[in-house]
Structure 1
Amino acid sequence: MTTRAEPRTRLDAESCYAAVKARDRRFDGLFWTAVRTTGIYCRPSCPARTPAAGNVTFHPSAAAAQGAGYRACKRCLPDATPGSPGWDVAAGVAGRAMRLVGDGVVDREGVDGLARRLGYSPRHLARVLTAELGAGPLALARARRAQTARVLIETTDLPLTEVAFAAGFASVRQFNQTVREVYAVTPTQLRGRRTAAPTTGEISLRLAVRTPFAGQALLSFLAYHLVPGVETAGAGFYARTLDLPHGPGTVRLELDPALDEVPGGGVALLTARFRLTDLRDTAAAVERVRRLVDADCDPLPVAEHLGADPVLGPLARALPGLRLPGQVDGDETAVRTVVGQQVSVTGARTVGGRIVAAHGRPVETGEPGLTHLFPDAATLAEVDPETLPMPRARGRALVGLSAALARGDIALDRGPQRDQVRAAMVALPGIGPWTADYVAMRALGHPDVFLPTDLGVRTALKRLGQEPAVAIARAPEWSPWRSYALMHLWQTLMPAPPTTEDD
């Protein structure tokens, strides 16, 4: 089998079976095991008795196992695993497609819409996905809907009719049929004896992440960079508004310090409390928050690689579960990056808050401190640069970037290839390599970006007793995890995580 960080088009049966015999949790979400004698498929770490080698086959996706006629194991819940870290490492067509499928693009725009975002014909896209993931776009979307439905059935009190549409099904009949086929039980049987309650648009879900998970470091970063009105943070939590396809929403992410103590090589569950205007946005909201917390990262190979470096080794060994903070909206990330050019983080927060107050959409959230959606690109494209609270050249760059985003000249939804996005960004006036690369790292989830001219990098290296030019020359050796190397350096400059509700 190839390394865990790489996508696989073929599965080495011998290596896969060895992982199954060892019940190795590190391979959960990287392949699925189907057992001919039982007709079920499992994650590699399933605690059930190991089947004979001749009775198993291995599949690159849950959808592939379902398409082969297998139903999900009720014991190990094989669909409830983090995704493949290879989706972001290689950022190939399959990985980019899975990000968009998870966001509900197939449900909203169909296979044609998915193919258009990726730059392929629907027929060619189906061939590529079938070759790499063992299933086409419709089957992958169906598997995602089934998993979302199961989570909602088992963890919420939503009426089953509302679960059907929240999970993305077009009808209750389709919902019932899919649940029966995938789980071999009816939705009512999945729920058990719990009774449904009228929905208030509030849903509490658990998001799976691989361990170790440095949640407090993630909280420190998000709290330090938050924009007033859009984000808030306090002891053990981070919350923000969400601009979703069918309406606004919010999420409050619980980052209990105890999560940092969960041993590596397993899975931890983060609690995310969503408040949604339209329950059809459930899948999109979940996917975007998963991107925010870098949920599909496999931290062990990252820590192992960086831990061998004389500069980064002590940092990686001290914080092996460090994550690369992502985003819930690529356009917002790009705008905020321009706002932060050549100013302190505190200054960027202040300016961002002013822009939100002047141009953001006010929303009622019920969450203290959350008052606005971040202004969308179309709104900012119409703003007079002279009125923005920043130097004129930067204001013009911000408006020009917003116009390109609004026209669709640049798409930050992880559909296009990263190199194409970067080239389009640096072609815009006022957008340089630092901005384009930072956006690639945060908005596109690029794990191998380094910012050699960044002042924070140089300051961190000096504090570590390193000569910046000498240490930065080592950066190519940190590939393919240079974004995580960057985060380790920045983390040395971060304040402690919030300790009160007001921080």
Structure 2
Amino acid sequence: MHTDTERCVRAVQSKDARFDGWFFTAVLTTRIYCRPSCPAVPPKVQNMTFYPSAAACQQAGFRACKRCRPDTSPGSPEWNARADTVARAMRLIGDGVVDREGVPGLATRLGYSTRQIERQLNAELGAGPLALARAQRAQTARVLIETTALPMAEVAFAAGFASIRSFNDTVREVFALTPGELRTRASRRTGDDRVSRTPGVISLRLPFRAPLNPENLFGHLAATAVPGVEEWRDGAYRRTLRLPHGQGIVSLSPRPDHIACRLSLTDSRDLRIAISRCRWLLDLDADPIAVDDQLRTDPLLAPLVDKAPGRRVPRTVDAAEFAVRAVLGQQVSTAAARTHAARLVTAHGEPIEDPEGGLTHLFPTPAALAGLDPEALALPRSRRTTLTTLVGALADGSLRLGLDSDWDEARARLFALPGFGPWTVEVIAMRALGDPDAFLPGDLGMRRAAADLGLPATPAALTAHAAAWRPWRAYAVQYLWATDDHPINHLPA
């Protein structure tokens, strides 16, 4: 979008927050860059230039605006709506792969050479993987500086910097303030719930593009919560997190203009990764205006969108975990699926301490489940085979599910496993892989909703009709599911 100068100028002049994260405005006279909705007086048109990423702005020598804080804007919806190489690379960079494995590790995961990855990212984003990772390290450092009392040396290494010097230089270059000045400015702010009052806990706000309807999003997560791993407590969805360097517990609460996030981590190096996974879980980088506008073109679907716009697709923080849970949920009630999952957690999960609630375990890894006794599962024999085959494939690496998955390839590999039909494959594609066009025409709730609305009720006919909803059919599923008075569609009392 950043190449459409006229459209970008209109967005900046109208301070349109819908475009935050889509592009960044760099001001040639002041050498700062802003989000489109920056409250400052818009610069003259001849002094504006536009970039597709914060990293590209920084690489071109611009510093972040102190007023609109462009580094905290929602991420581009492009990266979660596509499955091409650049989108998959951006999801992996957000998950810290470059910091942990370097650019060669990123390239290996994507099946390309480092040169090819660098060329593709530079062509579309104006910055290579190292610059993109550096921009994210700077944002992580800012969060730690402003929301914790950690010594600056600990902040530097927790944010992923290799040295104190590179940390200091990057913060000064990106924010035009020293780390100490950033902390001093933050301490002067009052009434800011991003400042944690609990030792070891980081509190921050997760931004999103309005509108956001929390009913089905948090309702689904709460209603399907696995005891010991997830819970709804005091108006917040809480769950345990398995992270690259340690463990964590997150609490997520819907607010009118943000999601309140409280993170307790055993290793602060996992902060950025935990934030990225929480944003993915809640689909916070979606563009609800584009989604809803497309779905409104169907006169039968439009009333549902108008009644409660901004529905998101509830996802997962761990694709392998969700795949296991999807198998446990085949042809049983929500309550039964939770019971089956809780038994696995108790028997094979890793214990964790939760001083603030009732969380007890991390969900077991495929490796931990690989040796389970099928006879110990209170499941039909065919489903035991499905589960053990899935776990074996995940454990030995023959099936990889994650941010780097090619959606079509992952579907094909899942279909090749025994017991995997269209419903299971598509629900995994929707919630674990993040395909915004995943569709479940054979789902019972979908068929009931379609019949009530006058839509075709048979899977084939509904699929043909839903072609007009593409590429947002997963969101249409959320609107159709929401017509049922089921706990997944309501915030818990």
TM-score, scaled relative to structure 2: 0.93
Q: Distance between the aligned counterparts of 1:88 and 1:138, measured in 2?
A: 20
> CA-to-partner distance for each residue in 1:224-253, whole Å, 9 max, x for gaps?
111111100145210000011111111011
Structure 1 residue runs of 4 or more that deviate by more than 6 Å after TM superposition: 195-199
Q: 2:395 aligns with which of 394, 403, 406?
A: 406
Q: Give, as a single letter, the amino acid of the residue that structure 2 aligns with 1:243.
A: R
Distance, in Å, in 2 between the alignment partners of 1:478 and 1:13 is 29
| CA distance in structure 2 between the aligned counterparts of 1:479 and 1:389, rounded to whole angstroms | 39
1:89-100 to 2 correspondence within 5 Å? 89-100=81-92
Matches within 5 A, 1:254-293: 254-256=253-255, 259=256, 268-293=257-282
Deviations 1:305-356 (A, max 9, x none): 2123233211111111111011101110111111111111121111111111
Hey, what's the Cα distance between the residues in 2 that align with 1:57 and 1:381? 54
Name 1:121's counterpart in structure 2.
Answer: 113
* Correspondence for 1:265: none
In structure 2, stretches of 5+ residues that fail to align are 189-194
Match of 1:490 in 2: 481
Q: Which residue of 1 aligns with 2:215?
A: 216
Contact 2:300/2:454 (8 A) holds in 1: no
Give aligned-pair identity as a percent: 56
Output the amino acid matched with 1:64.
A
- Secondary structure at the aligned position of 1:320 is classed as coil
Aligned partners of 2:492 and 2:318: how far apart in 1? 27
CA distance 1:364–1:445, shift in 2 (3 Å): same
Matched AA of 1:254: S
DSSP-derived class of the 1:314 partner: helix
Per-residue displacement from partner, 1:393-437 (whole Å, max 9, x unpaired)?
Answer: 211211211121122222222113111111111112222222221
How many residues get paired?
482
Q: CA RMSD in A?
A: 1.9
Contact 1:82-1:208 within 8 A present in 2 as well: yes
Separation in structure 2 between the aligned mates of residue 105 and residue 81 of structure 1, nearest angstrom: 21
User: 1:19-418 residue pairs with structure 2 within 5 A?
Assistant: 19-192=11-184, 194=187, 200-256=199-255, 259=256, 268-418=257-407
My pick for the range that moved more, 299-308 or 199-208, is 199-208
1:464 to partner: Cα distance: 4.1
Distance 2:376 2:393 in 1: 20
Supply the AA of the counterpart residue of 1:360: G
**In structure 2, distance between residues paired with 1:460 and 1:350:** 27
Q: TM-score, normalised by structure 1?
A: 0.92
Q: Which moved more, 1:186-195 or 1:336-345?
A: 186-195
8 Å contact kept, 1:223–1:497: no
CA distance 1:99–1:291, change in 2 (3 Å): same
Question: Structure 1 CA distance, aligned partners of 2:45 and 2:344?
Answer: 60
Instruction: Return the alpha-carbon distance in structure 2 between the equivalents of residues 480 and 136 of structure 1.
Output: 28
Distance (Å, rounded) in 1 between the aligned partners of 2:242 and 2:379: 25
Is the contact made by 1:216 and 1:255 (CA closer than 8 Å) also made in structure 2? no
Alpha-carbon separation, structure 1, partners of 2:377 and 2:85: 38
Comparing 241-250 with 392-401, greater Cα deviation is found at 392-401
Do the aligned residues in 2 keep the contact of 1:168 with 1:280 (CA within 8 Å)?
A: yes
Output the CA distance in 2 between the equivalents of 1:59 and 1:45: 15
Decide whether aligned partners of structure 1 residues 158 and 463 sit closer, same or farther in structure 2, where only a CA change above 3 A counts. Answer: farther
Deviation (angstroms), 1:439? 0.9
1:90-112 alpha-carbon deviations (Å, 9 max, x no partner): 22222211111111111111111
Per-residue deviation, 1:467: 5.1
Deviations 1:359-401 (A, max 9, x none): 1111112232211110101111221222222112211211211
Task: Look up the match of 2:433.
Answer: 444
- SS of 1:210's equivalent in the other structure is coil
- Contact map agreement 1:238 1:255 (CA 8 A) in 2: no
Q: Structure 1 197/209 Cα, relative in aligned 2: closer, same or farther at 3 Å?
A: closer
Alpha-carbon distance between aligned partners in 1 of 2:267 and 2:92, rounded to the nearest angstrom: 19
Secondary structure, counterpart of 1:286 in structure 2: helix
- The one-letter code of the counterpart of 2:81 is V
Q: Cα gap change, 1:161/1:306 in structure 2, threshold over 3 Å: closer, same or farther?
A: same
SS at match of 1:468: coil
Shift of 1:70: 0.7
**Cα shift at 1:220:** 0.9
Instruction: Decide whether aligned partners of structure 1 residues 295 and 498 sit closer, same or farther in structure 2, where only a CA change above 3 A counts.
Output: closer
1:187-215 Cα shifts (integer Å, max 9, x gaps)? 00111164999984311111111111112
- Conservation of the 8 A alpha-carbon contact between 2:405 and 2:433: no
Contact in 2 for aligned 1:94/1:129 (Cα 8 Å): yes
Moved more, 370-379 or 404-413: 404-413
- 2:467 aligned with 1:476, yes or no? yes
